[in-house]
Amino acid sequence: MKFEDMNIEESVLGSLNDIGFEQPTRIQSETIPIIKQGYDVIGQSETGSGKTAAFGIPLVEKVVKDNKIQALVLAPTRELALQITVDLKKFSRFKGIYIQTVYGGVSMGPQINGLRRAEIIVGTPGRILDHMRRGNMDLTNLKIFVLDEADKMINMGFIEDIKKIERNMPKNRQTLLFSATMSDSLIKIRERFTRNAKKIKTKTKLEENVLKQYYCDIDYKRKFSLLVHLIGQEKPNLAIIFCNTRRDTDLVARNLQDNGINATALHGGLSQQQREKVMEKFHKGITRFLVATDVAARGLDITNVTHVFNYNIPRDAEDYTNRIGRTARAGESGNAISLLIRDEHDSFRRIIRDFSYDIKKMQVSDFRILPFNKYQFKRDRNFKTRKFFRRRFR
């Protein structure tokens, strides 16, 4: 089946042809016809499978230009909200509808102006709720409500905000819930927000011949040295290095820079402008190594990422799945390598148990031991620039 065989509106089909979309993925071919028929849908598939297009194409079809909010998409992070907006704009290029992104960390003024003429809103729960409290959003004409990465929003503590937003929506709307994983905590959300929903689940684990997974046992003091060694050995095209905390993210990125590796940190402590600049450089390949917290693990569609390194093992097994899903996308191969210290073995065993991953032990030869500088991060009086004070440890 091709998109042209799915009875898609001509203007939307023209946009798809323009961006080179011809053959739908499995999640798209199974969900688009059902969404077009008006059913609520709960969709689950592996990362990189095209979930945004699965709900975005029929969503754009159902919206008409009349300067009234007809669709609301909630996402857990600013980065995902921006990525969804980019995709929806591509799908609606020849339709002329207006899409407004809404998230915190930036001025409300431009968002308020956009809300006055928007047909589709994509945003994070906190800022959406702020606008609703101020009377900037009218959801009485809402047709479609989308929760993307709903389990992550629950884990991030957004559930009460989502409930408050939902209370202001028409009861006869269509609700679409999409995620790469579906935890038990979503059961009550599904029961509350959807009605007679059709459940679509495709494969949720990347094929092992496409994504190779490895781990290395290492002691804490030699972990950074091993990371540098592996970067030199593997020679990634683009790589994401995941850490569990903002501080580790900053420290690893700065020490990689000290060793001549073009790395930049990405985490929630950066301003929105800083985060957008970091992602723009990584998308363009100007920065080849992105050191990130899990803020970057959900929904970001970055092509040509050949390697994912887990500098820290995530506490949540589902976060591991979403991390490794940043590579081996769109049919390309990829590698995920975890640097495992003694304290992380329990978390790692839980990941293997929950998802039945085949993760092979990587044998590492002797490598050079490098200093790891324990920088002290301080902000200036204007809280705009970060100053670094170095303390060296081996």
Name the token pair of 12: 């939307």
Confidence check: pLDDT of 355 > 90: no
Percent with pLDDT over 70 in the chain: 89
What digits encode the pLDDT tens for the residues 50-66?
889 999 999 999 999 99
Among all chains, which residue has been given the structure tokens 């990125």? 253
Please spell the DSSP secondary structure of 215-243, one letter per residue. EEE--GGGHHHHHHHHHHHH--SSEEEE-
Task: Please name each of the domains of the chain with its CATH number.
Answer: 3-201 (3.40.50.300), 212-393 (3.40.50.300)
Helix (H) or strand (E) holding 184: none
What digits encode the pLDDT tens for the residues 261-293?
999 999 988 887 888 899 889 989 999 999 999
Contacts of 286 (CB under 8 A, 6+ apart): none
Q: Give the C-alpha distances (Å, rounded to integers) separating 50 from 2, 11, 212, 223, 350.
A: 15, 20, 21, 35, 28
pTM, rounded to two decimals: 0.78
Helix (H) or strand (E) holding 31: helix 26-36
* pLDDT for position 207: 61
What digits encode the pLDDT tens for the residues 151-162?
888 878 898 999
84 compared with 207, residue with greater pLDDT: 84
Percent with pLDDT over 90 in the chain: 65
Pairing of strands 41-44, 174-179: parallel
pLDDT confidence bin for 315, thresholds 50/70/90:
confident
What digits encode the pLDDT tens for the residues 133-149?
999 999 999 999 999 98
Among all chains, which residue has been given the structure tokens 């849908």? 41
Confidence check: pLDDT of 367 > 80: yes
